[in-house]
């Protein structure tokens, strides 16, 4: 997911570690450089990020090594990107995400997975899929009906974007 790479790139940039990376580094290299050379500044940055995310702030009470903080921070960034994606989908397809009593969206995601397609050895091709569970409110019946029967997202040809809904 682009959100992961963007986050890791921005961390390396903030901590002036770009010179320690190869020209087109995999995520594993970013993480290794950050853990090896980021130390205290990285720890403070990740702690601030997790502290400000209601979904992950409780994790800070656990004893956590730096590599675990990076993984939880990536998960927080990805969760945020997925939530924003679903909000945009709702705006286009006639629904909005319901909120709970704390004004947080009633949305969970799981099973995020990158599906690689081996079309060209030079290019990395594929699509990602994720399962969402949550409550939504229909705002435009006609648009929602079209999305319900036609799917949402760009990977519909691969069986993604299907919605299973039930009345609550």
Distance separating alpha carbons of residues 36 and 96, to the nearest angstrom: 43
Distance separating alpha carbons of residues 4 and 27, to the nearest angstrom: 8
Sequence-separated (6 or more) residues with CB below 8 Å from residue 161: 151, 152, 153, 154, 155
Other CB atoms closer than 10 Å to residue 139's CB: what's the count? 13
Sequence-separated (6 or more) residues with CB below 8 Å from residue 41: 15
155 in Cβ contact with 116 (< 8 Å): no
DSSP 18: G
The SS3 assignment for 46 reads: helix
The per-type count for the chain, helices as H runs and strands as E runs, is 5, 4
Per-residue pLDDT of the chain (168 residues; tens, 9 = 90+): 589 999 999 999 999 999 999 998 999 999 999 999 999 999 999 999 999 998 888 888 887 899 999 999 999 999 999 999 999 999 999 999 999 999 999 999 998 888 888 876 667 788 889 999 999 999 999 999 999 999 999 999 999 999 999 988
pLDDT of residue 60: 83
pLDDT of residue 123: 73
Note the pTM of the prediction, 2 decimals.
Answer: 0.86
pLDDT of residue 121: 67
pLDDT of residue 59: 84
- Token pair recorded at residue 165: 């809904």
Name the residue among 133, 127, 136 with its Cα closest to residue 160: 127
pLDDT of residue 1: 55
pLDDT of residue 64: 82
């Amino acid at each position: 997911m682009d959100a992961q790479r963007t986050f890791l790139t921005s961390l390396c940039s903030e901590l002036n570690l770009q010179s320690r990376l190869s020209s087109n580094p995999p995520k594993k290299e970013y993480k290794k450089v950050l853990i090896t050379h980021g130390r205290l500044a990285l720890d403070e940055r990740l702690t601030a990020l997790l502290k400000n995310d209601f979904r992950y702030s409780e994790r800070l009470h656990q004893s956590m090594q730096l590599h675990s903080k990076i993984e939880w921070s990536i998960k927080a960034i990805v969760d945020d990107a997925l939530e924003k994606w679903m909000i945009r989908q709702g705006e286009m397809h006639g629904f909005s995400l319901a909120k709970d009593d704390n004004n947080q969206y009633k949305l969970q995601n799981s099973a995020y997975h990158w599906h690689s397609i081996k079309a060209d050895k030079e290019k990395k091709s594929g699509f990602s899929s994720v399962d969402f569970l949550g409550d939504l409110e229909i705002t435009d019946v006609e648009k929602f009906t079209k999305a319900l029967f036609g799917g949402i997202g760009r990977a519909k040809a691969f069986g993604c974007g299907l919605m299973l809904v039930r009345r609550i």
